[in-house]
Amino acid sequence: MTSKLVLVVACALVDPDNRVLVAQRPEGKTMAGLWEFPGGKVEPGERPEETLIRELAEELGVAVEEPCLAPLAFASHAYDQFHLLMPLYVCRRWTGVVTGREGQATRWVRPDKLRDLAMPPADEPLIAHLVDLL
């Protein structure tokens, strides 16, 4: 059985203390309450970097420039209804103050503490790459 491939891109915003930003999925969305790296679905005709710039502005109110996005790793995960492919970028420079603009909670977390949070299955394998990097 072939399932639909969904391309989603995520970003690990890293603050000067090497903490990573995670956002809690709001009520009413699938996997509500789980903590995830911010990002979103790549729209037709959009490059992953463009998606992140758009999503980080919409979701968190921060402006990111493309040269500040560095690819780190990717996750490939089979959910029941689709297969998710998710590149993870790292960003250390942005302008604006992180604010959950869609009502979602946000939290700065040390990489070695990310495993203490309930996260979507696709996000979990990315933690090791952040621990190694930071």
pLDDT grade for 59, boundaries at 50, 70 and 90: very high
Give the SS3 label for residue 113: helix
The b/e string for 66-101 (b: 16+ C-beta within 10 A; e otherwise) is eebbeebbbbeeeeeeeebbbbbbbbeebeeebebe
CATH for 4-133? 3.90.79.10
| Element counts in the chain: helices (H) and strands (E) | 2, 7
Region 15-30: what's the mean pLDDT?
A: 94
The whole model's pTM is what? 0.94
* Beta-carbon contacts of residue 96 (< 8 Å; ≥ 6 apart): 60, 61, 62, 63
Cα distance between residue 8 and residue 76, in whole Å: 10
Q: What backbone torsions phi and psi does residue 93 show, to the nearest 5 degrees?
A: -130, 125
- How would residue 7 be classed by pLDDT, with cut points 50, 70 and 90? very high
Tokens for 61, please give them: 């109110």
What integer pLDDT is reported at residue 2 of this predicted model?
66
Instruction: State pLDDT tens for residues 67-122.
Output: 999 999 999 999 999 999 999 999 999 999 999 998 899 999 999 999 999 999 99
6 versus 1: which is more confidently predicted?
6
Spatial CB neighbours of 89, under 8 Å, sequence gap ≥ 6: 9, 10, 11, 12, 48, 49, 52, 69, 70, 71, 72
Domain coordinates of the chain in residue numbers? Answer: 4-133
Is the separation of the CB atoms in 46 and 10 below 8 Å? Answer: no
Q: What is the mean pLDDT of residues 25-39?
A: 92
